[in-house]
Chains A and B, each alone.
Chain A
Amino acid sequence: MVAAAVHAVIDSSRIRSVEGMGFASAREGPTLDATLALTAEAIGNLPEPPDCPIVSEGGEFYGEPAELVALSFRPDFKYVESIGERATVQTAHYAAYAARDLLR
């Protein structure tokens, strides 16, 4: 598995700037715990530790409630809401795919 974290400054409908990216990979199977740990590692690998909420798509953590997923992240966690957030998550998807191709 490969995870990519994208740290971006956004407004409600677009990305203003990308501040940094972090990556992590693991050989483990896609369990909830492994996915959470991998995501936390990717966030830890960002150039600057973010002070904004961590955002992901609903399906990323097997549809688990945000409050449960939030226990693994700091400072805060939520699922995507605005168009800007969706666009950022999309960027992270592209980055993760590209990273996976490089690792092959």
Chain B
Amino acid sequence: MTSGNDADARRAIVAKRVDSGDADLGEIRNLAAAAGYEVVGELSQSRTEDAAFMFGEGKVAELRDLVIERDAGYVIVDNDVGPYQTFNIGSELPEGVEVVDRFTLILEIFGQRANTRKAQLQVELAGLRYELPRAQAKASLAKRDERPGFMGLGEYDESVERDIKRQISEIRDELASIAEKEEARREKRRASGFDLVALAGYTNAGKSTLMRRLAAELDIDENDDRHPDLDPTAESEDMLFTTLGTTTRRAAMNRRDVLLTDTVGFVSDLPHWLVESFRSTLDSVYRADLVLLVVDASEPVETVREKLVTSHETLYERNEAPIVTVFNKVDRLEPGELADKRAALSGLAPNPVAVSAHTGAGIAELRDRVESELPRWERERLVLPLSDDAMSLVSWVYDNGHVNEETYTDDQVTIAFEARPTVVAKARSKAADLAAVESA
């Protein structure tokens, strides 16, 4: 019907209901903009949830008038709108106007940004999981009008439900096999002496900018072209969800070889199934040796607290690594503000590192902190008979650890080094083999 449904002019009204107090429409506006909608109006209500409409009936009428007045084609509701509520709101609005809820909106953004096979599968899985109860509701609504008898026992829409379930299980299998490959790759990287550090945090906390700051020149991932905000020449975008796939780069640390992985940002109020759909992306956080939890310290302290709580909630249960909280964007703080925020958030973020990824302030401290928090390396000293095999072992140790001392005598080489325990164990066994060959 209206021109509002044109793909190039997606005019939308954002609406939100809160139980009490004032509704904050800031985030949903940003999300809508990130998905490519033009927000032409907003509406909020403070009342308890209406079972049929989510909003009060009077508010829904107001919404309809606003939609007509602003010629909007979409209504974006920042609440967990049930399938029946969506149906009811939709039937009150002019024909052709679509009701979009927070999750559909986030899925839409993910869908637009999903460039890898894995990301596409994850978006598809999340979409199907979202669709499942709605297909069930549709079938149940359809059944209400049906009567038993001739032509009455049609397939209803239950076949849709079965299809969805089948697709969900297929996608799960494919994702599981991708996750296995990634796990194998992580293990390989660990085995070759790399420590894995993951950047996690709420969306728009500045993880990608921080990544760029910490990363060495050397690119080691083939995903870079799909991650435009990592391009050193690109302007940092003040945008939600610029990172969807994970990107891994080698970080320039003093001694340790660190691989830094940038991940999808967390968002609050996401249902469990949506987080679960992105599990294999989050695996790079869960399976890291250290997690840098990045927060935008320039935001009000309550917002930072809420975002930290969301992050902790997402990390809880699965995360095994120590967490270092990074207060980013400190260049935007007033003098004294940082100390106040540190004190207010000491329970959630004890001993945070304050940095500005933008100006580079605090980055050196962050590097030191990362090195001190990584799993301890063991010290070892090996005395090897001088031979070609011994020299190749020495060079292997150089690749996988940090050599403190290397001394040569006529027939022996002594090497003192530090490395992760598995590397030390491997070096010992290699050295034992050399000694065995020597004495044989």
Q: Contacts A81-B309, A83-B312 known; A13 to B323 CB distance under 8 Å?
A: yes
* A12 and B309 form a contact (CB under 8 A): no
CB of B325 closer than 8 Å to a CB of A: yes
Expressed in whole angstroms, the Cα–Cα distance for A11 and B346 within the complex equals: 10
* A81 and B348 form a contact (CB under 8 A): yes
Residues of A73-90 contacting chain B, CB below 8 A? 81-83, 86-87
Expressed in whole angstroms, the Cα–Cα distance for A81 and B347 within the complex equals: 9
Q: Contacts A13-B323, A81-B305 known; A86 to B350 CB distance under 8 Å?
A: no
The CB with the most chain A CB atoms within 10 A, among B347, B348, B350, is that of B347
The segment from B63-71, B89-97, B314-322 that touches chain A is B314-322
Chain A residue nearest to B291 (CB atoms) is: A13
* A12 and B348 form a contact (CB under 8 A): yes
Please classify how large the interface on chain B is, using the bins under 10, 10 to 19, 20 to 34, 35 or more: 10 to 19
Expressed in whole angstroms, the Cα–Cα distance for A38 and B36 within the complex equals: 52
Give A53-90 as 1s and 0s: 1 = Cβ < 8 Å from B's Cβ atoms.
00000000000000000000000000001110011000
CB of B423 closer than 8 Å to a CB of A: no
Expressed in whole angstroms, the Cα–Cα distance for A11 and B373 within the complex equals: 14
Chain A nearest CB: distance from B49 CB in Å?
Answer: 13
Q: Which of A11, A81, A87 contacts B350 (CB 8 A)?
A: A11
* B347 and A83 form a contact (CB under 8 A): no
Chain A nearest CB: distance from B93 CB in Å?
Answer: 31
CB of B434 closer than 8 Å to a CB of A: no
Q: Which residues of B contact A11 (CB under 8 A)?
A: 350
Q: Contacts A81-B347, A82-B347, A82-B348 known; A13 to B319 CB distance under 8 Å?
A: yes
Q: Contacts A12-B325, A13-B322 known; A83 to B349 CB distance under 8 Å?
A: no
Expressed in whole angstroms, the Cα–Cα distance for A86 and B347 within the complex equals: 13
Residues of A1-30 contacting chain B, CB below 8 A? 11-13
* B309 and A83 form a contact (CB under 8 A): no
* B316 and A83 form a contact (CB under 8 A): yes
Chain B residue nearest to A87 (CB atoms) is: B316
Expressed in whole angstroms, the Cα–Cα distance for A13 and B316 within the complex equals: 8
Q: Which residues of B contact A82 (CB under 8 A)?
A: 308-309, 312, 347-348
* A86 and B309 form a contact (CB under 8 A): no
* A83 and B315 form a contact (CB under 8 A): yes
Q: Which of A12, A86, A87 contacts B349 (CB 8 A)?
A: A12
Chain B nearest CB: distance from A12 CB in Å?
Answer: 6
Q: Which residues of B contact A81 (CB under 8 A)?
A: 305, 308-309, 312, 347-348
Give A25-53 as 1s and 0s: 1 = Cβ < 8 Å from B's Cβ atoms.
00000000000000000000000000000
Expressed in whole angstroms, the Cα–Cα distance for A4 and B47 within the complex equals: 36
The CB with the most chain A CB atoms within 10 A, among B308, B312, B325, is that of B312
Chain A nearest CB: distance from B39 CB in Å?
Answer: 31
Chain A nearest CB: distance from B324 CB in Å?
Answer: 10
Chain B residue nearest to A79 (CB atoms) is: B309
* A12 and B347 form a contact (CB under 8 A): yes
Q: Which of B305, B313, B323 contacts A12 (CB 8 A)?
A: B323
Expressed in whole angstroms, the Cα–Cα distance for A64 and B312 within the complex equals: 22
Give B325-343 as 1s and 0s: 1 = Cβ < 8 Å from A's Cβ atoms.
1000000000000000000
Chain A nearest CB: distance from B327 CB in Å?
Answer: 13
Q: Which residues of B contact A12 (CB under 8 A)?
A: 312, 323, 325, 347-350
Q: Contacts A13-B322, A13-B323, A81-B309 known; A86 to B348 CB distance under 8 Å?
A: no
Q: Which of B308, B316, B323 contacts A86 (CB 8 A)?
A: B316
Expressed in whole angstroms, the Cα–Cα distance for A81 and B305 within the complex equals: 9
Chain B residue nearest to A86 (CB atoms) is: B316
Chain B nearest CB: distance from A22 CB in Å?
Answer: 22
Expressed in whole angstroms, the Cα–Cα distance for A87 and B318 within the complex equals: 11
Expressed in whole angstroms, the Cα–Cα distance for A12 and B316 within the complex equals: 11
Q: Which residues of A contact B309 (CB under 8 A)?
A: 81-82
Expressed in whole angstroms, the Cα–Cα distance for A83 and B323 within the complex equals: 10
Chain B nearest CB: distance from A51 CB in Å?
Answer: 14
Q: Which residues of A contact B315 (CB under 8 A)?
A: 13, 83
Chain B nearest CB: distance from A83 CB in Å?
Answer: 5
The CB with the most chain B CB atoms within 10 A, among A12, A82, A87, is that of A12
Besides A13-B323, A81-B312, A82-B309, 9 more A-B contacts (Cβ < 8 Å) are A12-B312, A12-B347, A13-B312, A81-B305, A81-B309, A81-B347, A82-B348, A83-B315, A86-B313
Give the interface of B toward A (CB within 8 A): 305, 308-309, 312-313, 315-316, 319, 322-323, 325, 347-350
Return the 5 tightest CB-CB contacts between A and B, nearest first.
Answer: A13-B323, A81-B309, A86-B316, A83-B312, A83-B316
